[in-house]
Amino acid sequence: MASPKVAVVGAGLIGLSTALCITETCPSCSVTVLSDQFSPNTMSDVAAGMLIPHTYPDTPIHRQKQWFKETFTYLFAISNSAEASEAGIHLVSGWQVFKSPPKEELPFWSDIVLGFRPMSKAELQRFPQHRFGQAFTTLKCDCPPYLLWLEKRLKATGTQMYTRKVEDLWELRREYDIVVNCAGLGAQQLVGDKELFPVRGQVLKVHAPWVKLFIRDGDGLTYIYPGVHRVTLGGTREKGSWSLSPDAGTTRDIFDRCCSLEPSLQGAQDIEVKVGLRPSMQCVRVQREVLSQGGVKLPVVHNYGHGAGGFSVHRGTANEAAHLVGECISVLQGSSSRAKL
């Protein structure tokens, strides 16, 4: 097999970063990205893109930590390079505050972010309703810039990208040797995964350029994340809701909650309301599978179900998925050489 043809389904954060990893680990591959949506209309575009991991209940912690570490290291290097502004990657410092004691004093990622430490008493005084806090510096990926930058990198490798709604993975069998499923929430229909469910998140993107620090309530519901041009205010976690329509009452509620953490937001301008559905599962599915139908085989690599933590682990899971694609190729090359004998 001279040039394995790989189709990546999905052009959100996971699809694009996985495609890019595949071109890096398997330069002989011909990679094509297929998606019904591209940036700025993917679910990933709604997210703030903060590197603060979400803990997946059923994925071993060491694996999550490895994914986060790889992602952080990768983005850290970009943030420190001349490409930082184009890629939309930047460092941001701030505070995570808790009303009641956090489950863990030291989250598994505390030694990966920069300068992690408990907040001082003077810092906590800014948050009279909160009694505990953590201060650290992490990275943020602004979208659309980051996704557009990934697309640019992909095009430079010769990767083709097509707008196409894939209804069934089997329809790709004739044109492609391997299919990589990065369809996010779409995997529910595409591969019939019943473990996957949406967690609706509404956010406000506002103009408040004086906000330089992030503030996050440890309950994960209220957060203020300053991006390159806009500040993302959030949010909600509505399990099972598929509604993509903004809710006015929710907008008011998010704004009020954020203003109580950062009163100067009262002066925020140009409020844009966005809704995203987190493609959630108990664990991220990064897995190889061989589909079989009437004697025909289709190697598939899954990489979906990142829920609230996609940005934090995207590069790590993309690396793992690319590695699995490599395994698929080895198997195919093994069987094709056997076929020749």
* Residue 311 Cβ vs other proteins, minimum distance, rounded to whole Å: 16
CB nearer to other proteins: give 93 or 236.
Answer: 93
CB of 92 to other proteins, least distance (A): 5
Residue 110 in the binding site for other proteins (CB under 8 A): no
DSSP structure string for 88-123: TEEEEEEEEEESS--S-SS-TTTTTSEEEEEPPHHH
Question: Binding site annotation covers 225?
Answer: no
Handedness of CA 227, 233, 238, 241 (dihedral sign): negative
Binding of other proteins at residue 228 (CB under 8 A)?
yes
Burial 28-49 (b: 16+ CB within 10 A, else e): ebbbbbbbebbbeebbbbbbbb
Question: Does residue 92 bind other proteins (CB under 8 A)?
Answer: yes
Strands 160-163 and 285-293: unpaired
Nearest-approach distance from CB 206 to other proteins, in angstroms? 13
Residue 194's closest CA among 276, 278, 281, 277? 281
Rounded to whole angstroms, the Cα distance separating 159 from 170 reads 21
Q: Would the annotation count 223 as a binding residue?
A: yes
User: Counting contacts by CB under 8 A, is residue 211 touching other proteins?
Assistant: yes
280-291 in b/e form (b: 16+ CB < 10 A) is bbebbbbebbee
Q: Which of 3, 28, 81, 110: binder of other proteins (CB under 8 A)?
A: 81
Query: Is the CB of 162 or the CB of 210 nearer to other proteins?
Result: 210
Closer of 79 and 159 to other proteins (Cβ)? 79
Tell me whether residue 39 or residue 159 sits nearer to other proteins (CB atom): 39
**Contacts with 87 (C-beta within 8 Å, 6 or more apart), sequence order:** 78, 141, 145, 146, 149
HEC profile of 256-320: HHHHHHCHHHHHCEEEEEEEEEEEECCCCEEEEEEEEECCEEEEEEEEECCHHHHHHHHHHHHHH
Contact 310, 277 (CB under 8 A): no
| Count of residues that interact with other proteins, criterion CB under 8 A | 38
Task: Determine, following the binding rule CB under 8 A, whether residue 244 of this chain makes contact with other proteins.
Answer: no
Q: Does 106 bind other proteins (CB under 8 A)?
A: no
257 is in an annotated binding site: no
Report in angstroms how near the CB of residue 93 gets to other proteins at its nearest: 4
Query: Contacts with other proteins in 111-140 (CB under 8 A)?
Result: 114-115, 117, 119-120, 122-123, 126, 135, 137
C-alpha to C-alpha distance for 91 and 46, rounded to whole angstroms? 19
Q: How far is the CB of 40 from other proteins (least distance, A)?
A: 18
Question: Cβ closer to other proteins: 36 or 86?
Answer: 86
Distance CA 212, CA 93 (A): 8
Shortest Cβ distance from residue 109 to other proteins (Å)? 13
Taking the least distance from each CB to other proteins, the nearer of 228 and 290 is 228
Site residues, other proteins (CB under 8 A): 79-86, 88-94, 114-115, 117, 119-120, 122-123, 126, 135, 137, 142, 209-213, 226, 228-229, 263-264, 266-267
Binding residues: 166, 223, 278
Binding residues for FAD: 166
Binding residues for D-dopa: 223, 278
